[in-house]
């Protein structure tokens, strides 16, 4: 397998603990849709829609999605680049440009309109919370 840096959206019914225990997985959000959003580096940890980070970074003031330790509600959305440019900066907690040109956006639970895809996290597993 090829070394990757990104996210995978896994289908409902995927075991979150099994994904979280895969090498390189740093975060798994269990979403209200039943899907999982896993942030990882290395090999793809499970089957699902792969969202790879682009080498082209967003401006320096955006943290990449899931590099900040969770501290409360989270929601995740996929926007086109044009849709992302229309968002109000105050609602965005983090954003990652993907290899497709789309942008994965994380909010602190705020729901956003106009996304290609989105869901609110109902629970999450994070390596920083385990070791804290």
Nearest residue to 79 via CA among 62, 97, 59, 64: 97
Tens of pLDDT, residues 89-126: 888 888 888 888 899 999 988 889 999 999 999 998 87
Rounded Cα–Cα distance for residues 5 and 21 (Å)? 17
The pTM assigned to this predicted structure is: 0.84
Look at the alpha carbons of 48, 112, 79, 4 in this order and tell me if their dihedral is positive or negative.
negative
pLDDT at 16: 96
Tens of pLDDT, residues 4-56: 788 999 999 999 999 999 999 988 999 999 999 999 989 999 999 988 877 66
């Amino acid at each position: 397998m090829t070394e990757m840096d990104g996210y995978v959206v896994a289908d409902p019914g995927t075991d979150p603990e099994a994904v979280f225990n895969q090498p390189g997985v740093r975060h798994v959000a269990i979403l209200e849709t039943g899907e999982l959003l896993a942030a990882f580096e290395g090999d793809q940890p499970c089957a699902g829609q792969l969202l790879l980070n682009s080498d082209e970074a967003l401006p320096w003031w955006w943290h990449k999605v899931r590099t900040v330790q969770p501290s409360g509600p989270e929601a995740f959305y996929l926007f086109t680049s044009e849709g992302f440019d229309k968002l109000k900066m105050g609602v965005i907690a983090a954003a990652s440009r993907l290899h497709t040109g789309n942008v994965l956006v994380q909010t602190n639970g705020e729901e956003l309109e106009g996304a290609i895809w989105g869901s609110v996290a109902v629970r999450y597993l994070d390596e920083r919370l385990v070791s804290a």
